[in-house]
Amino acid sequence: MRKLLLLLSIWLGGLLVANAQTREVTGKITDNTGTPVPYATVQIKGTKVTSVADADGNYRIRAAAGDVLVFTSSGIASKEATVQSGGSGLNIVVTRVSQNLSEVVVTTALGIRRQARELGYATTQIKTAELNQAAVVNPATGLAAKVAGVDIRLADNGVNPQVKVTFRGSRSIEGNNAALIVVDGIPVDQQYLANINPNEIEDITILKGSNAAALYGMSASNGVMLITTKKGKGKFSLTYQNVVSAEHISYFPSLQNEYSGFGGEGGSTTNPATGGTIYFVDPLSGLANTVPFENESFGAPYSSLDFQNGQIPIGVDQNGKWYFTPFKAVPNGRKDFFVTGVGDQNELSGGFSTKWGGLFFSGDHTSKQGIIPYDTYQRNGGRFNGNATWGKLSVQIGGSYYNVSTNIAGNSYYQYRPVYYLVVDQLASTDLKSIKDISKFQNNQGFVNAYAPNPWWNIFNSRSKSSQDQLLSHVTLSYKINDWLTITGRTGYSRTMENAPSYIDSITFPSWLLGPSGGGLWNNGGLANFPGNNPGIQREVVKAHYDDWNTDAYFTATRTFGKFKFNLIAGGNYRARTSWGDWYSNQVYYENVVGANFIPSYPSKTLHSDGTADAVFSYKRYDQSAYGDLSIGYDNWLFLHGSYRNDWTSILAPKNRSFSYPSVDLSAVLSDKLGFLQNSSTISFLKVRLGYANTGNVSLDNYQRMGVMGNIGAGTQNAGTYNGGYTYLLPTFGAYAIYPIAGTIPGFPFGNNNGYSQSGTLVQNGLKPEKTGAVEVGAQLGLLKNRINLEVNYYDQQSTNQTIPLQASTATGITSYLTNAGKINNYGVEIDLSLNPVFKTRDFRFDLSGNFAYQNSKVISIEGGSVELDQINFGQIQLGGIYAEAGKSYPQIKVTDFQRDPQGHIIVGASSGLPTLNPNPIDAGSGNFRYFLGLSPSFGYKGLTLKAVFDYRGGAKILNEEGNVMDFTGIYTGDAANRQAFIVPGSVIQTSPGHYVPNTNVPISSVAGLPTSLFWWANYYNQAGMPYVTSADFWKLREVALSYAVPIRIFGKQNVLKQLDVSLIGRNLFMWRPKTNNLTDPEFSTNGLGNAVGYTTEFQTPPTRVFSASIRANIF
């Protein structure tokens, strides 16, 4: 570290020795609102003497009296001024014009603004208007389909959905692939995106590749999303915006409405109304008729019998009076459980700037209801940004505070299932709305189903709440040492605090519900599955706390020598992160009664003698780095840029903790240099570029799951067991990961005797960082005076030394071996095209922009050291797994399937007619989309604008585990077929090894007493994963926004209201999927923000569409 700093000092010193100029003209360039114009070029007319203004519009140039200075820059009309003989100050006011491709200024690493033409890598800027055209709540959702190579994936449709942001596919098999999010120069957790009011954002710069991001060090290989919030500008003004929205279910699985309940249990019971006997089994045939408290729908058709005069008893009131529900299908009885989620966003912001600085402030209150009744979301908070300049010192200070609170329905008292699961898992005769008032029932739940309790019970008696406070503050100090050297220090601090209490109420059942041992109503089933003992109210509280200090100090030097222009950045970074968490549960219940599945196996857990338990967690990570970045421009058309960075991290062993990586790129604005282009009337701008970057990444970042009662990502960790939810994810930053914690055998310690058990994970001695090498080639083309803009990029990234917890044969004693192994190749093409305008008259304008991306991540190998594997399963799911497999796209869905002959026909037993399962999981395709297409047409007519965003994604497959559950219960429309014994379509029978004949006469056989349909759907068909894999491709109409700028003149002569816009907005209006994929939105992922994409379960609520109306007023 010291050596490197010394070297940097010498380097900088060398630049200082260079001779300085003597006579100068200085001044400031501002636009007509008083806002400084950064990086304008100042040239003495008729000479090649040029200078570039700084970020605040200050310029210096050596000139003689009488020289004419020409000021040119991005987005301004060029202006000339003559140098006077007396005085050196010359302030310039310029006029803004629409931007020209060759003059765009973008924010780059460390918040440094550069002319885009100088950059040798791909950047895209999204302005607030485009981001917010559909009045999004989470800014990331407003980016979807707007930039090539940017993949925005919504994990679910809850009130506070998780949004995964990745650029250019996946580079790390098990590590983090998500883009780094930087807000005003401070790196933040991806979760922060949900805590930012999108209207506070001035612009978002996407640095897609690692060249652009090398200065951000670790995680920069995933690209960076630079969010710049608004600053005060011009005269004091205030903006108020209100958006009201309504969210509905757009797609619901299609359910069968013909067959009643039956799941194998039979018997009889006493009819509470008549005292007579209800037979669930036909006494004559012995075949099942119907069992109305089932969750499986393999009973008799509703039309075929008159069950107890059409009445199903569903509960008793406090006085012993019975409630009944009609014995017939209620077609929307389940879907209608969901409600319209109403949202309301209010935002007030304002600001101003003067010659000494500016101020911006905003406040936001957003509230939202979910489609699940009584689910709520609230966001309250605000932000301020201030900037000031005193002579050579300039200061920027900013801060934001947000509170986001959610209150959602929790899991059921039995089997811990979420609401949607319980809604779907009902019979066709269930009319959920009719049993909403659960208080009228004796057991406080309205008993309709022995296996899936009334979801209204969850709504009223099981809640998961969360309140998150997030504070982000930063200060930047810049001191101009001289006209070409500036020193900048920036420190940012963020703190996140979460308090998440959950409870599941106690429940007491009247004896009639507890099955025959309690003298109850239902002979079998009943609440047979429910532990007879009342667990009492279950409470859990998770508290978490996360601090992040990030400090940068760097020099920037800009000098021009003749035709050469140098930009140098050199500095260091220090980052300290700590997190802390506390889990409390009032019940050791999980541990002893319900089953070991529910034990949170926290090594730091303390079990108290009163039956409560708590556990504390604490993580710390420190990183430091030194970096240098030099770009050399030649004649303002050829640019060479390179950077070098060294990182030191506390999470690796001392000998591996220091690592460094370089990047280099070259770009040329050919249209400024090549004669035939300079004179071309067609081609207005052409730039080509080429870059290589190497980045290091310690892929140990992880989250500690805290709590068991929450609904976040439920079902992800333990598919196949009932639970699997968690309440909070505490960032561990990879701290302590190289020395896994030993487990403890339950009950230990006894006295002085410890009972440790080795961790199931073994870590390679001397784990190293992952390395990603990326090549990027790109071109930018402006045609017909930049009316048509085209940008094309090709990239090819190779990541080696992947840090992978390789899954081991459990015969090794462990389950995973964390090691450096594997190579992944990630490549793609991105095309952005805009036609501004396509067509234009005086009043009408039609613009179109579109983007296309192809991306593919291919696993080259999974090997390292002694490891010889060709695949790893990193996302265990019920019917298979999500794999990384050598030679295949990443990630690969592999699922179980039936034994098939070489032609793919299902092999069935010669006498049973039933298929058997192949224990080897079969390839089912990749879970990552490979083709992305976004189209954004925009129409304007006078003050009226209509904008839309279409989004296509293709090339991926998806496993809908929900289908499996629905087949098990026989509620899916497809399950209405094949109710009788049948020959498995297209099946074959093996006659001798390797020889198969078509099966023409052997129908499936069942066990005595069980209907064939039940046996087939619930015990055979749904054992294989392949039937539930479909194409995940889709087209969506993501956004439609109709806006009208109300002509201010209609309000007469006034000086208050400056602008008034009203809009009608629709989001996710339509989705077009292949017919086979009819369960849910293929964009969803049960794995949330994780890499194991490619499957969904009934733990995600159905897709929704949102309609909103907005009004926006600007005053003063």
Partner 1 sequence: MLTKNKIVILLFGCGSLLAASCTKKLNTNIDDPNGKSSVVLTGKDFFAGALVEDINNIGGVNLYNAADNYDYANQWMQYWARNNGWASSGAQQLVEDFSPNNNFSDGVWGSLYHNIYDFNFVIANSSKGSILPGASRVMRVMLFQDLVDQFGNIPYSEAEQPAVTLTPKYDDAAAIYKDLALQLDTALTDIAASQSTPDDASDVMFGGAKTLWEQFANTVKLRVLLRQVPNGDQTYVASEIAKIVQQGSGFLTVDALVQPGFNNLPTKQNPFYNDYGPGSQNYNSFCANQVMINFLDSINDPRVSYYYAPSPAGPLGGEPLGNNTFNLASNTSPLGPSLLKSPSQPGIIMLAAQSLLMQAEAVQRGLMTGDAAALYQQGVEASFSFLGVTNAVAAADSYMSGSTNGLVNFTSSTNKLQTILYQKWISECAIDGLEAYCDYRRTGYPFIAVPSQGAPGMPIPQRLLYPETEYTQNGANVNTQNQTLADLTTPIFWAKP
Site for partner 1 in 894-913 (CB under 8 A): 912
Candidate ranges 511-519, 691-699, 990-998, 1075-1083; the one touching partner 1 (CB under 8 A): 511-519
Among 439, 754, 980, 991, binds partner 1 (CB under 8 A): 754
In eight-state DSSP terms, residue 439 is: G
Which of these ranges, 202-210, 426-434, 679-687, 757-765, lies near partner 1 under the rule CB under 8 A? 757-765
Dihedral (C-alpha) 297, 299, 301, 302: value to the nearest 10 degrees? Answer: -80
Out of 619, 728, 929, 1095, name the contact with partner 1 by CB under 8 A. Answer: 619
The correct pick among 760, 773, 837, 974 for binding partner 1 (CB under 8 A) is: 760
SS3 1028: helix
Pairing of the two strands 113-115 and 186-188: unpaired
Q: Which of 916, 978, 990, 1031 binds partner 1 (CB under 8 A)?
A: 916
Residue 65 binds partner 1 (CB under 8 A): no
Instruction: State the nearest-atom distance from the C-beta of 625 to partner 1, in Å.
Output: 10
Question: Among 421, 466, 501, which Cα is nearest to 714's?
Answer: 421
> Going by DSSP bridges, is the β-strand pair 816-820/761-763 parallel, antiparallel, or unpaired?
parallel
Residue 511 token pair: 């004896």
Residues 1079 and 963 sit within 8 Å (Cβ to Cβ): yes
Least distance (Å) from partner 1 to the CB of residue 624? 5
Cα separation, 1039 vs 146, in Å, equals 11
By CB under 8 A, tell whether 656 contacts partner 1. Answer: no
Nearer Cβ to partner 1 (576/683): 576
Query: Within positions 149 to 178, which residues make up the interface with partner 1, using CB under 8 A?
Result: none
Q: Which residue lies nearer to partner 1 by CB, 12 or 1060?
A: 12
In the window 1031-1090, what residues touch partner 1 (CB under 8 A)?
A: none
- 561 closest CA partner among 639, 640, 632: 632
Task: Tell me the DSSP string of 121-190.
Answer: S-EEEEEHHHHTTT--SSGGGGGTTTSTTEEEEE---SSS--EEEEESS---SSS--SPEEEETTEEE-G
From residue 695 to residue 734, what is the string marking binding to partner 1 with x (rule CB under 8 A)? --------------------------xx------------
If one asks whether residue 739 binds partner 1 (CB under 8 A), the answer comes out as yes
**Considering beta carbons, is residue 476 or 789 the nearer one to partner 1?**
476
Residue 742 in contact with partner 1, rule: CB under 8 A = yes
Least gap, CB of 990 to partner 1 (angstroms)? 12
Region of residue 931 (phi > 0: left; psi between -120 and 50: alpha; otherwise: beta): beta
Backbone angles phi, psi at 143, to 5 degrees: -95, -15
Looking at beta carbons only, is 247 or 591 nearer to partner 1?
Answer: 591
Residue selected from 340, 757, 980, 991 as contacting partner 1 according to rule CB under 8 A: 757
The least distance separating partner 1 from the CB of residue 483, rounded to whole angstroms, comes to 10
Residues numbered 232-291 forming contacts with partner 1, rule: CB under 8 A = 265
Judged by beta carbon, residue 617 or residue 1070, the one nearer partner 1 is 617
**Given candidates 438, 630, 738, 833, which one binds partner 1 under the rule CB under 8 A?**
738
Q: Which amino acid, residue 75? A: G
Q: Cα separation of 604 and 844, whole Å?
A: 67
Could you say which residues in the range 3-62 bind partner 1, by CB under 8 A? 5-6, 8-9, 12-13, 16-17
Selected from 812, 980, 1054, 1076, the binder of partner 1 by CB under 8 A is 812
Choose which of 747, 902, 993, 1052 interacts with partner 1 (CB under 8 A). Answer: 747
Cβ of residue 564: shortest distance to partner 1, in angstroms? 22
Spatial distance between the Cα atoms of 303 and 260, rounded to a whole number of angstroms: 9
Q: How far is the CB of 450 from partner 1 (least distance, A)?
A: 8
Least distance between partner 1 and beta carbon 411 (Å): 16
Which stretch, 160-168, 363-371, 525-533, 1096-1104, contacts partner 1 (CB under 8 A)?
Answer: 525-533
* Burial (CB count <10 Å: 0-12, 13-18, 19+), residue 1115: middle
- Report in angstroms the alpha-carbon separations of 22 from 60, 483, 1047, 1061: 11, 12, 54, 53
Q: How far is the CB of 623 from partner 1 (least distance, A)?
A: 8
- Distance between CA atoms of 378 and 343, rounded to whole angstroms? 10
- What is the size of the binding site for partner 1 (CB under 8 A)? 108
Q: What secondary structure letter does DSSP report for 748?
A: -
Site string for partner 1, 285-324 (x = CB under 8 A): ----------------------------------------
If we measure between CA atoms, which residue out of 637, 771, 758, 649 comes closest to residue 701? Answer: 649
The binder of partner 1 chosen from 2, 1049, 1053, 1075 (CB under 8 A): 2
Long-range contact set of residues 985-988: C-beta below 8 Å, sequence gap at least 24: 986/905, 986/906, 987/905, 987/906, 987/907, 987/908, 987/913, 987/915, 988/901, 988/905, 988/906, 988/907, 988/908
Report the residue from 109, 651, 709, 959 that binds partner 1 according to the rule CB under 8 A: 651
CA atoms within 13 A on the CB side of 334: 27
User: Is residue 419 within the footprint of partner 1 (CB under 8 A)?
Assistant: no
In the bound complex, what is the minimum distance in angstroms from residue 603's beta carbon to partner 1?
Answer: 3
**Contact of 82 with 67, CB cutoff 8 Å:** yes
Sign of torsion over alpha carbons 595, 600, 606, 612: negative
Does 486 bind partner 1 (CB under 8 A)? Our answer is: no
Which listed residue (866, 903, 1000, 1055) binds partner 1 by CB under 8 A?
A: 866
Task: Tell which one of 240, 352, 549, 574 touches partner 1 (CB under 8 A).
Answer: 574
CA 282, chain centre distance (Å): 52
Exposed/middle/buried for residue 799 (C-beta within 10 Å: 0-12, 13-18, 19+): buried
Residue 264 or 1027: which CB sits closer to partner 1? 264
* Amino acid making up residue 603: P
Q: Which residues in 208-223 are b (16+ Cβ under 10 Å) and which e?
A: bbbbbbbbbbbbbbbb
| Binding segment (CB under 8 A) for partner 1, from list 299-307, 425-433, 514-522, 1072-1080 | 514-522
Smallest separation, CB 845 to partner 1 (Å): 53
Q: Does 758 bind partner 1 (CB under 8 A)?
A: yes
Select from 67-75, 421-429, 521-529, 923-931 the region that touches partner 1 (CB under 8 A): 521-529
Q: Which has the closest alpha carbon to 702: 715, 722, 717? A: 717
Binders in 581-610 for partner 1, by CB under 8 A: 588, 591-593, 595-597, 603-604, 607, 609
What gap in Å lies between CA 789 and CA 834, rounded to an integer? 5
Give yes or no for a contact between 486 and 555, defined as CB atoms under 8 angstroms apart.
yes
Residues 543-572 that bind partner 1 (CB under 8 A): 553, 572
Query: Under rule CB under 8 A, which residues in 917-956 are in contact with partner 1?
Result: 917, 919-921
* Closer by beta carbon to partner 1, 683 or else 741: 741
Closer to partner 1 by CB, 317 or 868: give it: 868
CA–CA gap between residue 504 and residue 465 (Å, rounded): 12
User: How many other CB atoms sit within 10 Å of the CB of residue 865?
Assistant: 11
- The minimum distance between CB 219 and partner 1, in angstroms, equals 18
What residue type is assigned to position 814 of the chain?
A: I
Nearer to partner 1, 595 or 986 (CB): 595
Q: Which stretch binds partner 1 (CB under 8 A): 206-214, 453-461, 498-506, 650-658?
A: 650-658
Based on CB atoms, which residue is closest to partner 1, 342 or 593? 593
Nearer to partner 1, 732 or 1096 (CB): 732
